[in-house]
Amino acid sequence: MLNQLLNIASSASWQEASYVPDCSEPILAWLLDESSLTKKLEQHCRHFHVEVRQQVTTSTEQTPLSTYFTDAQQVLVREVFLHCDHTAHVFAQTEIPEQTLSDEQQNLAEIGSESLGRLLFQNSSLVRGKIQIAEFKPGSLIHQLCQTLSQHCEHSLWARRSLFYIENKPLLVSEVFLPASDIYQ
């Protein structure tokens, strides 16, 4: 059964990382880390795995997504949970316009439960754009998602997103740090 895509793009105010007044230094350090999040999570747990929530191809006219790919007719949206020791620590949503899924990049549509981050950071042509940060306050749709994971919390949850380019082809990766994440420790 298909879940409704989470509208994280417009449900929070995304801002440049240079100005984040309510964010603590330890949280900001996680958010601004430009290395592979997969690798960092693997260093903080014994068992890392990716659970695919859903992957759908949709039209930007039908689905509320970011404004980065409004010219694309079709966008592949992949939603996953990154688990550490069998607990979801990160919810990630990736938007890949159909133009990006050509040539060698067509395999991005077929990675299943492989880590997208692992694939991206192994590619020598990878370029990461600026990191943007968002705060999801209690009561947000992300907090509602956390309820379904039995991760209740009364504090804000933090997220980051970046455009990545492989062979000059863009994709957007948004990562929300869930309550169980080490970011809040």
- The 3-class SS string of the chain reads CCCCCCCCCCCCCCEECCCCCCCCHHHHHHHHCCCCHHHHHHHCCCCEEEEEEEEEEECCCCCCCCCCCCCCCCEEEEEEEEEECCEEEEEEEEEEEHHHCCHHHHHHHHCCCCCHHHHHHHCCCCEECCCEEEEECCCCHHHHHHHHCCCCCCCCEEEEEEEEEECCEEEEEEEEECCCCHHHC
What are the pLDDT digits (tens) for 2-54?
Answer: 567 788 877 788 988 776 777 888 999 999 999 999 999 999 899 999 999 99
Its pTM stands at 0.93
Q: What pLDDT score does 76 carry?
A: 93
**List of the chain residues with pLDDT < 70:** 1-3, 19, 72
Domains of the chain, first to last: 15-184 (3.40.1410.10)
